[in-house]
Structure 1
Amino acid sequence: MNYFYLVPFASLFALGFAMYFFKKMMREGEGTERMKTIAQFVREGAMSYLKQQYKVVAIVFVILSIIFGVMAYFGLQNNWVPFAFLTGGFFSGLAGFFGMKTATYASARTANAARTSLNKGLQVAFRSGAVMGLVVVGLALLDISIWYLILDHFVADAEPGHKLIMITTTMLTFGMGASTQALFARVGGGIYTKAADVGADLVGKVEAGIPEDDPRNPATIADNVGDNVGDVAGMGADLYESYCGSILSTAALGASAFISNPQMQSNAVFAPMIIASIGVFLSILGIFLVRTKEDATIKTLMSALNRGVNTSAVLIAACAMLILYLLGFENWLGLSFSVIAGLLAGIIIGQGTEYFTSHAYRPTQNIAKSAQTGPATVIIAGMGSGMISTVIPVITIVIAILVSYLSPIGFDVENMLTGNNLSMGLYGIAIAAVGMLSTLGITLATDAYGPIADNAGGNAEMSGLDPEVRRRTDALDALGNTTAATGKGFAIGSAALTALALLASYMEEIRMGMLRLGNNVMQFANGDTIEVAKASFLDFMNYYQVTLMNPKVISGIFVGSMMAFLFCGLTMNAVGRAAQKMVEEVRRQFREIKGILTGEGTPDYARCVAISTKGAQKEMLLPSILAILTPILTGILLGVSGVMGLLAGGLGSGFVLAVFMANSGGAWDNAKKYIEEGNLGGKGSDAHKAAVVGDTVGDPFKDTSGPSLNILIKLMSMVSIVMAGLTVSWSLL
C-alpha cells in the first residue's frame, strides 16, 4: 500500500510544475498594444466557445448520469458508476480548459519572445505547451488516486482477491466520462477550427490573394481561436482519457491475472500507476532539455524537441525495469520488455509520421512538386502518400502487440492462449500502453506547442512585426505542423494499444455484471459448468462463442468497420456545411464593409467567431450521440459476441483510417509551407494556389475526422464496459 502514495505525490508534483511554467510564461512581455489586442480577441473567442460547449456537454452528462442511476437501481450497474462517470468528464474538461487558457495567453508572448531570438520563442511556446501535458497527467493521477482511496474504504471485502477486481473494474468506468467529454471536445473543436480555416483560406488566399493571417481577413481571429479549441482543449481531453484508460485497464487485468496471490495482485494493480508516476518526473526533466541555436533549421528544431522526448523515454525504460523488479514480479524482465515495446512503438510511430509529413523529407516535397500541375495532382499525391504512410504505424503496433504479449510468458508460443499465459500476455499488452503513455507530460507538450506557435505567427502577421520576426515564427509554426502531426500519430497509436487492453477488460466487466445479476454459474453447451468468479478469459470467450465462425461476431466486425467511415463522413460533411457559411460571411464582409481590402475598414471578427461557434455546437451532436448509441444497440441486438466483433472492427479500421487521414492532412499542410518558403515559385504562384487547395482538403482530415477516430475507438469500448450489465441481462439474439 505504501507504493500507492507515490501516485498522488506525482500528481501534485506535476500540477505544481504546471503552475510554475504558467506563471513564468505570464511574466513574459505580451508585446505591443496591437499584439495585446489581437491576443485578447482570440482569448475571448476561445473562452466563449468553451463556455457554450460545456453547456451542451453538461446536458448530455446529466441525461447519461440519470440513465446510469436507473440502471444501478435495477442492479444492472455498479452504484458508483454515475459518480465516477461525472468525475471523469469533469477532470477531462478541466484539463482542456487549463491547457487552452495557457495557450491563449502564450501566443502573443511567443511572438514577442521571437523578436529577441528563435530559441527564446521556442522555449516560451514549448514550456507553455508543457502546462497542457503536466495538467493532463497531474489531474489524471489525482482522479485515479481519489477514486482508489474512496473505493478501497467503501467496497466491502469479498472473496479473497475479488475486492481489487471490483475496485479496478469500477474505476474503469470513469473513463467513459472522460471519453464522452473528449469526443465532444475533439469533434466540436475540430468542426469549429476547420470551418474558420477553410473559410479564411478559400476566400482570403485563393479569391482575394491576401496572405495567411492577414488582419483584413474577417475569419482570421476565428481561425486562431479554432487552433486552441481543437488542438489544445480537444487533444488534452483526448489524451487524458487514453492515459487513464491505459492505467486502469492494466490495473483491472492485473487484478484478474494475480487473483490467487494477494500480495502480487496489489503490486500488479499499482505497477502501472507507479510507472506513470515516475514518468511525470522524467517528463519534467525532458522539458528542461529542450533548447536550440538561433540559426536552426526545421531538422535542428525537431532534434531539440526529440532530445527531450527520447531522453525521457530511455530513462523511463530503465526505471520501469527497476520498479517491476522491486515489486517482486517473477517475470519482471519480460514485463520490462513489454514497457520498452510500448515506448519504442510510440517513438517509431512519431518518427514515421515526421518522415511522411515534414517538408524536410521527400514525401511532402513530392506532394509540393505535384502542385505544379494543379490541385488535382496535389490531392492524388497527398492521398497516395497518406495511404502508404499507414505501413509504418501498423507494422509497429503489430510487432509491439506480439512482443508485449509474448515477453511476459517467456515466448511460449505453443501455449500462449492457455491458462495463466493468456492473462499474463494481456497484462503485458496493457502495460505496453502504459509505457507508451508514461512520458505523456512531454509528448503532449510537443503537440500543444503547435497551436501556440501557429497563433504566434498569426499574431506577428496581424501586428505587422518585422519580417525577421515573421521568419522565426514561420520556422516555429512549420515545426508545429510536424509536432502536431506527430502528436496525432502518437495519440492514434496509444489509442490502439489502450483499446486492445480495454477489449480484454470488457470481459472482466462482463464477469462483474453476471455476478451482480446473481448469475454465479456458467453452463456450456456440452453440460459442463464453471463458477463465474473462477472462470478464465477463455471460458468467457467459449461461453459467448466469440469466434470468427459466429455470424454475430462477423456482423459486429462489419458494423464496427462501418462506424469508422460513417463517423468520418458525418464530421467531414459537418465541416463542409459550417465552412460554407463562413465563406459566405467573409465574402459578404468583403463586399459590404467598405475599405477592408485597402486596410481602411475593420472586419467584423466577432461575427465569424459566432458562426463557427454555432456551427460546431449544432454539428457535433449527431456523430457524438451515434458513437454512444451504437455499442448499446449492438449489445441489445447481438449480445456479448456482437459487441466483441464491433470493438474489433472499429479498432482495426479506425486505427488505419485515422493514420491515413492525419498524415495526408499534415503532408498537404507542410507542402504548402514548403512552397511558401520560396520553393517552386513561392507565394502567389500557381503551384502555391494548388497547394492551398490541397491544404484546405487536408484540414478536416488532420484536425477533425482523423483525430476524432481514436476517441471513437476508445469511447465505444468504454460504453460497452459501462453497459456490460445491460448486455448480459438482455440481448435479442
Structure 2
Amino acid sequence: MVSSIFWLVPVSSILALGFAWFFFSQMMKESEGTDKMKSIASYVREGAMAYLRQQYKVVGIFFLVIMVIFLILAYGFNVQNPWVPFAFITGGFFSGLSGFFGMKTATYASARTANAAKESLNKGLRVAFRSGAVMGLVVVGLGLLDISIWFLILNAVYPAATDAHNLVVVTTTMLTFGMGASTQALFARVGGGIFTKAADVGADLVGKVEAGIPEDDPRNPATIADNVGDNVGDVAGMGADLYESYCGSILATAALGAAAFIDAPDLQMKAVLAPMLVAAVGIILSIVGIFVVRTKEDATQKDLLNSLSRGINFSSVLIVVFSLVIVKLLGLENAWGIWGSIVTGLVTGIVIGKATEYYTSHSYKPTQKIADSAQTGPATVIISGLGVGMLSTAIPVLAVAVGIILAFLFATGFDITNINMGLYGIGIAAVGMLSTLGITLATDAYGPIADNAGGNAEMSGLGPEVRKRTDALDALGNTTAATGKGFAIGSAALTALALLASYVEEVKIGLIRAGQTVLEIGGETIETQRASIMDFMNYYNINLMNPNVLIGVFIGSMMAFMFCGLTMNAVGRAAGKMVDEVRRQFREIKGILEGKAEPDYASCVAISTKGAQHEMVLPSMLAILAPIVTGIIFGVSGVMGLLVGGLGAGFVLAIFMANSGGAWDNAKKYIEEGHLGGKGSEAHKAAVIGDTVGDPFKDTSGPSLNILIKLMSMVAIVMSGFTVVFHIL
C-alpha cells in the first residue's frame, strides 16, 4: 500500500507542467516584432525542428535495437527484470520530450525577447527568463511524472507490504529507466554540441576574423545555423542532460533507502519516498522563485546576475525549511542528520555555481586577465584560458569532497561504520542539490534564448539601444550557461557516487536471480539477500591491490579523455566543412558582402546536421560498450574500477573544459563592450580565436562528460545481472 503523502509527488509534477504551459502561453502572446524579425525566427525554428526530426530517427532506431537486446536478456536468459526493456524506452521518451518542449519554446521566444528589449531591459529579461522556465518546469514535471507512474505500477506488481525485499526490487528496476534517459541525453548533448559548434566556429573564423563583419551579421551564411545550434545543443541537449541527472539522483537515493532500511519495514517506505517528496516541494518553491526575478533598466552585469540569483536564493532558502518539515513528518530515523545531508547538497551546488560564476563572468578578474592577454595575440589568450580553466577545478572539487564527507557523516550520526546510511545521505545530498532544478535550469535555458535574441536584433537591424540591451542579456546568458554546466557536472558527481552503491544492490539482485542464495566470504556463509555492501566488496575483492580494479580505473580515466578527443575532432571536421562552405559563398555569390544578395543559409544548416548525425554515433556507442565489455572480461570488480576512474577523471576534466570555454567566450564579450580597443581591434581578433578554441570545450565535450559518467553507471546497473553470470576473470 502506497502512503497517502506520496500523492504530493504526481500532483507537483502536474503543477509544474501546468505552469510551464502558462509561461509558454504568456510568451506566445508577446509580439514577435517586424516581418524581418519573424522571418529570421522562422528560419531558426524550421532548422531546429528539421535537425531534431533527423536526430530522433537515428536515436529511435538505436533504442529499438537496445530494447530487443534487453527483451532477450530478460525473457531469454532471465538475467534482468522483465520490466527493464519498457522502463528503458519510457526513460528515453520522456528525456527526449523534455528537450523537444524546451527547444520549441526557445525558438518562439528569441524574437519576442528581442522585441521586448525594444521596450525595456526588464521586459526583455522577463520574457527570456520565463521562456527558459518552461524548460526547467517541463524537465522536473516530466521527470517526477515518470517516476510516479513507474512507482505505482511496480508497487502493484511487487507489493512492499508482503516482503521488504520487494521495495528493493521496485527501486532498482526503476533505476533502469535512467539508462534510457542517459542514452537520449548523450545523443542530444553530443549531436547538438557538434551541430552548434561547427556552425559557431565556421561563422567566427570566416565572418569575424577573415571578413571582419560583426557577430550574427545577416551576410554570414553560417549565422542561421549558429542560432539553430544554440537551441539544439544548449536547450534540447541541456534539458535531456538535467532530466537524467534529476531522475537519477532521486532513483538512486530511493534504491539506497530501500536497502538501508530493509530490516525496518516501517521506515523503509519513508526512506524511499523522502527524495521524491523533497523534489516535489522543490518544484513548488521553484515556481514561487521564478516570479521573483526582475531587474531595473540601467542594470549592470552584476545587477542582472543578482536578479537571477535572487530567485534561486529565495527558492533555496525555502527548500532548507521545508525539507526539514518533510523529514520530520515522515518520522525518519536521525531526521536532523538526513536534513543536514540535504542542506549540504544544496550548499555544495551553490558553491559550485558561485565558483563557476567567478571564473567565467567578465565582471571578475580571471576573465578580465584573459582579455588583457589578448593584447599580445591568440597564443597568450589560449594559454591564459587553459590556466584559468585548470585553476577553476579546485573549488568545485573541494566543495564536492567536503559535501560528500559531511553528507555521509550527518546521515550516519557521525558513525562511520554505518555505510548504508552514509551512502543514503550522499544520495539525498544530490537530491538536495537538484531540488530547485525548476528555477536553476530556467537560468540556464535563458542563455541561448538571449543569445538568439541578440542574433535576431543584429540581423534585423534594430537600433544600438536595443543591441546594447540584448548584448547585456547575452553576456549574462554566457555566465548562466557556464554556471548551469558547472551545476550539472557537480550534481553528476554526487549522483554517480550514489549510483555506484546502487550498482552493488543490483549485483545482489542479479546473484539471487541466478540462483546464488548464499555467499562464502572468509570461511563464513552469508545469505545473499542480507549481505551488506562491505560484504560484496570483500566477496568480489574490490580493493586497490586487485589488478582487475586498477585496470578498470585506468580504462575509466581513459574513457573521459578518449570521449573528449572524439567529440573535439568531430567538431573540428564539421567546422572545417563549414569554413569551406562560408568561404565558397563569399567567393561565388556576388554581392553577398555588400548586402545585395542573400546567403544560402540552408546549405550551412545541412552541413551541421549531417556532421552531427554522423559524428555522434561512435562516442555514444563507446560509452555504452565500455561497461559491458569491461564486465564481460574483468567482472564486477573491473566495472567498479571503471566507474570510479570515469567519475574521478571525468568530473575534473568536465569542470576544466566548461570553465575554460566560458571564460574565453566572456573575455571576447568584455572586449566587445569597448575595453582594450573594442570590436575589430587586434585584441578582439585574438579573443575570437580563444573563443573559437573554447567553443567545443564548453558546449560539446565538457558538458557531455557528466552524461558519460552517469551513462556508464546506468549501463553497468542494467547489465549487472549479465555481468555476474558471464565474465572471464
TM-score interval for Structure 1 and Structure 2 normalised by the shorter chain: over 0.9
Question: How do 1:662-677 and structure 2 match up within 5 A?
Answer: 662-677=658-673
Counterpart in the other structure of 1:448:
445
Aligned-pair CA distance for 1:527: 2.5
Q: Distance in 2 between matches of 1:597 and 1:133?
A: 40
Q: Distance in 2 between matches of 1:323 and 1:80?
A: 31
Q: Distance in 1 between matches of 2:5 and 2:585?
A: 62
The aligned amino acid for 2:714 is M
The aligned amino acid for 1:690 is A
Q: Distance in 2 between matches of 1:640 and 1:465?
A: 61
Counterpart in the other structure of 2:529:
533
Counterpart in the other structure of 2:9:
7
> 1:40 aligned to 2:42?
yes
Aligned-pair CA distance for 1:155: 2.3
The aligned amino acid for 2:37 is M
Aligned-pair CA distance for 1:619: 0.2
Alpha carbons of structure 1 residues 511 and 159: separation in structure 2 relative to 1, 3 Å: farther
Counterpart of 2:477 (choices 467, 480, 491) is: 480
Equivalenced residues, count: 726
Aligned-pair CA distance for 1:159: 6.6
> 1:614 aligned to 2:610?
yes
Question: How do 1:163-182 and structure 2 match up within 5 A?
Answer: 163-182=166-185
The aligned amino acid for 2:177 is F
Counterpart in the other structure of 1:279:
282
Q: Distance in 2 between matches of 1:360 and 1:425?
A: 39
Q: Determine helix, strand or coil for the equivalent of 2:356.
A: helix
Counterpart in the other structure of 2:600:
604
Aligned-pair CA distance for 1:156: 5.6
- Structure 1: segments with no counterpart, 5+ residues: none
Q: Distance in 1 between matches of 2:237 and 2:515?
A: 41
Question: How do 1:497-646 and structure 2 match up within 5 A?
Answer: 497-524=494-521, 526-646=522-642
Counterpart in the other structure of 1:383:
386
Deviations 1:12-60 (A, max 9, x none): 0000000000000000000000000000000000000000000000011
Q: Distance in 1 between matches of 2:8 and 2:47?
A: 39
> 1:234 aligned to 2:237?
yes
Deviations 1:267-290 (A, max 9, x none): 000000000000000000110000
Counterpart in the other structure of 2:68:
66
Counterpart in the other structure of 2:646:
650
Counterpart of 2:429 (choices 429, 432, 439) is: 432
Q: Determine helix, strand or coil for the equivalent of 1:115.
A: helix
Structure 1 vs Structure 2 CA RMSD: 0.7
Deviations 1:568-599 (A, max 9, x none): 00000000000000000000000101100000
> 1:225 aligned to 2:258?
no
> 1:466 aligned to 2:436?
no
Deviations 1:449-484 (A, max 9, x none): 000000000000000001000000000000000000
Question: How do 1:207-226 and structure 2 match up within 5 A?
Answer: 207-226=210-229
The aligned amino acid for 2:376 is T
Q: Distance in 2 between matches of 1:158 and 1:521?
A: 24
Counterpart of 2:91 (choices 47, 64, 88) is: 88
Q: TM-score, normalized by length of structure 2?
A: 0.99
Q: Distance in 1 between matches of 2:44 and 2:682?
A: 32
Aligned-pair CA distance for 1:157: 6.0
Aligned-pair CA distance for 1:653: 0.4
The aligned amino acid for 1:588 is R
The aligned amino acid for 1:93 is G
Q: Distance in 2 between matches of 1:213 and 1:157?
A: 58
Q: Distance in 2 between matches of 1:25 and 1:662?
A: 30
Counterpart in the other structure of 1:686:
682
Q: Determine helix, strand or coil for the equivalent of 2:119.
A: coil
Q: Distance in 1 between matches of 2:371 and 2:148?
A: 49
The aligned amino acid for 2:73 is M
Q: Determine helix, strand or coil for the equivalent of 1:496.
A: helix
Q: Distance in 2 between matches of 1:165 and 1:668?
A: 47
The aligned amino acid for 1:198 is V
Q: Distance in 2 between matches of 1:102 and 1:466?
A: 26
Q: Distance in 2 between matches of 1:337 and 1:102?
A: 37
Deviations 1:502-560 (A, max 9, x none): 00100000011111111111112x33111100101100110001101111101000000
Deviations 1:198-254 (A, max 9, x none): 000000000000000000000000000000000000000000000000000000000
% same residue:
74
Aligned-pair CA distance for 1:158: 8.8
Aligned-pair CA distance for 1:638: 0.5
Q: Determine helix, strand or coil for the equivalent of 1:529.
A: strand
Q: Distance in 1 between matches of 2:155 and 2:258?
A: 14
The aligned amino acid for 1:662 is A
Q: Distance in 1 between matches of 2:280 and 2:413?
A: 27
Counterpart in the other structure of 2:402:
399
> 1:718 aligned to 2:714?
yes
Q: Distance in 2 between matches of 1:623 and 1:19?
A: 35
Counterpart in the other structure of 1:308:
311
Q: TM-score, normalized by length of structure 1?
A: 0.99
Aligned-pair CA distance for 1:330: 2.7
Aligned-pair CA distance for 1:261: 1.4
Question: How do 1:104-503 and structure 2 match up within 5 A?
Answer: 104-155=107-158, 160-412=163-415, 416=416, 418=417, 421-503=418-500
Aligned-pair CA distance for 1:365: 0.2
Q: Distance in 1 between matches of 2:510 and 2:160?
A: 18
Counterpart in the other structure of 1:30:
32
The question of whether the paired residues in 1 share the 8 Å contact of 2:677 and 2:684 is answered with yes
Counterpart in the other structure of 2:697:
701
Q: Distance in 1 between matches of 2:45 and 2:294?
A: 27
Q: Distance in 2 between matches of 1:624 and 1:408?
A: 36
Q: Distance in 1 between matches of 2:678 and 2:399?
A: 37
Q: Determine helix, strand or coil for the equivalent of 1:530.
A: strand
After alignment, is 402-411 or 180-189 more displaced? 402-411
Q: Distance in 2 between matches of 1:18 and 1:196?
A: 30
Counterpart in the other structure of 2:51:
49
Deviations 1:422-463 (A, max 9, x none): 100000000000000000000000000000000000000000
Counterpart in the other structure of 1:732:
728
